């Protein structure tokens, strides 16, 4: 039964996280199946383990029912006597960021770290992007540096989002200084550095001082 639940949740991975669009019915069908299997398992007297509970959390997040995922999360220790693990937190942080609920995501990230779990690269990238897009630039940059210290990979979209949001607020030179710092610390290879530089030049023109 656990494997069947996992197979169904994995099918949800093919569904975009941000925006249901035409996949609303698919999401509904998958989650109804997962819920039915979970209910059957509990009714049969089988205690849910972290695997099955995470399957529920992950399925709810991927179908954009984040509040339902949080409900399962809060029930884990109280109802099911099973503590969340790093995967639980990662699913929730990613889902909350997709809904721009950055305060809740930060709270879970902090709680996660107090339990000696390190957020995944996906969680960090989601959080940095969401914070930057929400105008919380300083927080976004702080988490970006934190994730590099934890040896989590920053993806190109995250670098671009942070730099672009800084520039959009009229702080172009600050963005350029940060870009240089990324290169100095060997966080960017030559190709990625030049690509980001060209993007900033295209978008902000004369405000950017060309760096050779």
Domain edges within the chain? 1-84
In what helix (H) or strand (E) does residue 160 lie, and over which residues does it extend? helix 156-168
**Which candidate, 126, 201, 209, 196, places its Cα nearest to that of 163?**
196
CA distances from 28 to 5, 41, 52, 86, 170 (A): 15, 20, 18, 26, 43
Q: Rounded to whole angstroms, how far apart are CA atoms 51 and 67?
A: 19
Nearest Cα neighbor of 64 from 31, 109, 90, 110 is 31
- Contacts within 8 Å (CB) and 24+ apart, 190-199: 192/156, 192/159, 195/156, 196/156, 196/159, 196/160, 196/163, 199/160, 199/164
**What does each C-alpha distance from 92 to 10, 21, 28, 41 come to in angstroms?**
16, 21, 19, 23
Collapsed DSSP state (helix, strand, coil) of residue 186:
coil
Q: What is the model's pLDDT at position 41?
A: 80
DSSP states of 92-108: HHHHHHHTT-HHHHHHH
The pTM score is 0.83
Give the residue, 25 or 93, on which the prediction is more confident.
93
115 neighbors 99 (Cβ within 8 angstroms):
no
Given a cut of 90, whether residue 62 has pLDDT beyond it is no
Q: How far out from the chain centre does Cα 159 lie?
A: 15
Quote the pLDDT of residue 38. Answer: 82
Specify the range with the lowest mean pLDDT, choosing from 51-55, 166-170, 180-184: 51-55
- The percentage of residues in the chain with a pLDDT greater than 70, rounded to a whole number, is 83
pLDDT tens, residue by residue, 71-125 = 999 999 999 999 999 999 999 999 999 999 999 999 999 999 999 999 999 999 9
**CA dihedral sign, ordered 144, 128, 105, 66:** negative
Contacts of 11 (CB under 8 A, 6+ apart): 30
pLDDT, tens digit (0-9, with 9 covering 90-100), for 131-173: 999 999 999 999 999 999 999 999 999 999 999 999 999 999 9
6 pLDDT exceeds 70?
Answer: no
pLDDT(8) > 70: no
Report d(CA 59, CA 30) in Å as an integer.
Answer: 8
pLDDT-derived band at 209, boundaries 50, 70, 90: low
């Amino acid at each position: 039964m656990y494997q069947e639940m996992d197979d169904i949740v994995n099918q949800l991975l093919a569904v975009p996280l941000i925006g249901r669009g035409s996949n609303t019915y698919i999401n509904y069908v998958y989650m109804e199946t997962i819920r039915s299997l979970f209910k059957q398992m509990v009714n049969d007297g089988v205690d849910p383990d972290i695997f099955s509970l995470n399957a529920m959390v992950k399925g709810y997040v991927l179908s954009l029912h984040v509040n339902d995922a949080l409900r399962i999360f809060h029930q884990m220790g109280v109802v099911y006597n099973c503590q969340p693990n790093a995967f639980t937190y990662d699913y929730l942080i990613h889902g909350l960021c997709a809904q721009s609920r950055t305060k809740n995501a930060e709270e879970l990230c902090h709680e996660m770290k107090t339990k000696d779990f390190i957020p995944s690269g996906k969680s960090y990238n989601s959080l940095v992007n969401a914070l930057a897009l929400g105008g919380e630039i300083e927080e976004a940059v702080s988490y970006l540096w934190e994730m590099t210290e934890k040896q989590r990979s920053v993806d190109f979209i995250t670098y671009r989002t942070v730099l672009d949001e800084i520039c959009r607020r009229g702080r172009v030179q600050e963005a350029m200084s940060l870009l240089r710092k990324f290169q100095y610390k060997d966080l960017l290879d030559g190709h990625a550095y030049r690509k980001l530089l060209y993007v900033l030049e295209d978008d902000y023109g004369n405000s950017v001082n060309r760096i050779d």
